[in-house]
Amino acid sequence: MANKKNKKILSSSINKKSSSLMDDFNSSINIDQRLIEEDLAVTKSHVDALHKLGTLSIKEKNKIHKGLSSIQKDYLDGKIIFSKKNEDIHMNIEYFLHQKIGDTALKIHTGRSRNDQVATDTRLWIMKSSKILQNEIKQLMISILGQAKYHKETIIPGFTHLQIAQPILLAHHLMAYLEMFRRDLDYFSFSIKGSDENVLGSAALAGSNYSLDTHLLNKKLNFTKSKNNSMDGVSDRDFCMYFLHASSMTAIHLSKLSAELVLWSSNLFGMFNVHEEYSTGSSIMPQKRNPDSLELIRSKSNIIRTKAMEFSNIISGIPLTYFKDFQEDKKIIFECFDELKICLNVMSEVIKKSHFNEDKGVQLCNSYFATATDLADYLVIEKKIPFRQSYKIIADIVHYAQNHNKNLSNLNLNEFQLFESTIDKKIYHYVDVKNSLNRKKTPMSTNPKNISKQIKKYDLYLK
């Protein structure tokens, strides 16, 4: 064989004298080795296109395919040792192939460049990873839906400004997150669609000198179309931004949910108990259990959100077409994927296994006058008093109840009539927390009938 074991596969008079420091600095194999399966698939499809042109014989094509499959098996068996001397995943694979099949391996780079190769690899990885994250989001949605079904009659306070506002069903609150995560699924679908353009044939920037069958390449790699412009092909990293933006939106929703559950799990709220598998003890205070899983999700989610900014800092201001700056992009998308995947997985388990306090919600609603708006509506509906006037009357009643350490249901009729003489016993129907839910009329409301319909809708959607 022409190559010795320690010789670079890419060698010329231009790069003969690169220092070992430069080799280390220039190498990306520690990061882009993760693209090995994509790069093997891209190379196999390119080899098929070269064979169709007559550039490779059937014997050479089969020999190369066999060698590439052998490399894939070695990788899966943990036998691959990547080398910084060969810079990146593309040159490492070419080196491994040369070791297996000899000089026939030197033909695989005909008509292509690492520029169109890495762009295609990355697109395939983004599409694959977006689908993996979609599946993780769906698993989380299934966990949330399970709790919504179990708690479709559990009443909790709804909050604005972190103040108790109005009674709602816990299921209604949880299903608000189903709406958020469903949008995230759509964002990742957009990421997949934005990645679905095959760059092969763009070569370095001007296009290939070989009449590669782009339809064959697309079919082999499951792309629906090729890039229209070779310069855009090798320089376009918008699809990575789509992936990072989708990840950022999911991270925002995870951060919102984790922050909420951390508050609910505190002694002050007492509405949520994090399962012991996902909480930890204090090193000094034996009575405490800390919601560390949720706090880590909240923190990691905020880190995930910064990845889009990191990436945009790399690609903004770069002229056409390819620059070494792009070498730094993979690290960002890989880190984003890893962090988001584990956050989704942990949140799914926390939701599935943890316990919502079924009694605390009604207690909080009664203690903090959550049906005050219903009483204002009582005066509007039953007594025909204008809302702004009824609002003031009920505000005075609430103030009175607070001063006398009572909740609204504890006030007697005479006390109500101190503020409005026409108030009758019907007001107690409006004071009742459960009745507040049943009075909601709009289809997106917390009315139990609406919630049952929404649960059925999501049951079908997730199945």
Query: What residues are labeled active site?
Result: 161, 282
Token digits for 24?
Answer: 């280390």
Token digits for 98?
Answer: 């040369």
Report the C-alpha gap between 256 and 276 in whole angstroms: 22
The distance of Cα 85 from the centroid of its chain, to the nearest Å, equals: 36
What is residue 222's three-state secondary structure? coil
Report the C-alpha gap between 427 and 380 in whole angstroms: 12
Report the C-alpha gap between 404 and 401 in whole angstroms: 5
HSE toward the beta carbon, residue 419, CA cutoff 13 A? 21
What is residue 82's three-state secondary structure? coil
DSSP class of 199: -
Q: Is 403 exposed, middle or buried (0-12, 13-18, 19+ CB in 10 A)?
A: exposed
Residue 201 Ramachandran class (φ > 0 left, ψ -120 to 50 alpha, else beta): left
Q: For residue 43, is the peptide bond before it cis, meaning its omega torsion is within 30 degrees of 0?
A: no
Q: Which residues of 47-70 are buried (b: 16+ CB within 10 A; e: fewer)?
A: bbbbbeeebbeeebbebbeebbee
Assess contact for 131 and 401: CB atoms under 8 A: no
Token digits for 150?
Answer: 């179990």
Token digits for 142?
Answer: 């299934």
Assess contact for 346 and 278: CB atoms under 8 A: yes
Length of the chain: 463
Assess contact for 106 and 97: CB atoms under 8 A: no
Alpha helices, DSSP H, located in 151-169? none
